Amino acid sequence: MSREPVTNKLTNEVKKSMKTRILTAVVGIAVMLPIVFLGDWFFFAVGVFFASVGAYEIIHSNKKDFSIWLYIVSIALVLSVMLWPFLRAIMHTDVSHVYNTFENIYIPNIILFGGIVAIFIVVILNTAITVTDACYYFVFLFIVALGIQSALYVRFVPSLYNPTPRAFFNWFDNFESSTLMFYVLFGCFFTDTGAYFIGVLFGKHKINERISPKKTYEGFFGGIIISFIISSLFAFILALCHHPILAGVFDLEHWYHIVGLSALMPIMATLGDFVFSAAKRQFGIKDFGSIFPGHGGVCDRLDSLIFVFITAAIYICIVEGTIFI
């Protein structure tokens, strides 16, 4: 008995989900676009907000009745790791522009150890928290913290290549310094968007139904191809117009870095999506939060971006020879 071929149909539920996702994305872009463009303290404030909400969502995902101290310790740990370059700078100099403080990405060993100690003290004092819970909290809180720190680095590092003092609102300089961020955002956004629509329309072969039931190989490769084409074209066009997204790293002379990172970003975006999806399946939740209708919470929206930002930041640091100095 022959099996009928599987066909993909846009059901009313799928259409409604698409409309909600698109509307939320449009609103989000309208809000975030000027903030990304302006950078400096504006983008810094958004990073602090996302890191704090993300830390709360990580703890809340376990669906246990925890002491408020666990939330306080977790948010403090994430902010300390994320803000370490900034905190390190203000200890030694007067900071008027925040972009001057993110010349590298740092993993502060003292704060990490202090965070481990603090979390396990809470484990000892709260019988509802297991060692497994504590390990999950620490790993995911660290990923969120390093991801947001990497986002700040990606947004601010182009400013360090221009030694000319700039005003708080300098439209040309803000455009120049924001193109690297848009390049990374395009790499992640078009991976997610391409995989979603290609998967809905043509997806038949599941990747891993246990972790992410809807993801297909068709969507995976479609997302990679679409992301690679759009992000690399964006970088090459700007380089051809003599406005490289990062001079000396992603320009025509170093075209292979554009190709390399453009290929890496969609792969890491998919990995990030799977990592956070695995955590949600572990705790039996659909979303980490509900702050973005149709997209879930901060961790749901930033899961892919976090891995892409970390990848981009490490890639740049390796090329520049400044990794973890």
* 301 found inside a domain: yes
Q: Angle 192-197-201 (CA atoms, 0-180°, nearest 5)? A: 150
User: pTM, whole model, 2 decimals?
Assistant: 0.84
Contacts of 148 (CB under 8 A, 6+ apart): 47, 50, 51, 54, 78, 82, 306, 309
> How many other C-beta atoms are found inside a 10 Å radius of the C-beta of residue 242?
9
116-161 per-position pLDDT tens digit: 888 888 878 877 788 888 888 889 999 999 999 999 999 988 887 6
* 67 found inside a domain: yes
* 58 found inside a domain: yes
* 9 found inside a domain: no
* 47 found inside a domain: yes
Mean pLDDT of 234-256: 91
* 14 found inside a domain: no
Report pLDDT for 89: 81
**Highest-confidence segment of 5-19, 88-102, 162-176, 199-213:** 88-102
Contacts of 261 (CB under 8 A, 6+ apart): 187, 250, 311, 312, 315
Which residue range forms the structural domain that includes residue 253?
24-320
> How many other C-beta atoms are found inside a 10 Å radius of the C-beta of residue 185?
22
Report pLDDT for 6: 45
* 104 found inside a domain: yes
289-307 per-position pLDDT tens digit: 877 766 678 888 888 899 9
22-45 per-position pLDDT tens digit: 776 677 677 778 888 877 888 889
Report pLDDT for 181: 92
What is the rounded CA–CA span in Å between residue 48 and residue 145?
10
* 6 found inside a domain: no
Report pLDDT for 295: 65
How many domains does the chain fold into? 1
Backbone φ and ψ of 44, nearest 5°: -60, -45
Mean pLDDT of 172-194: 83
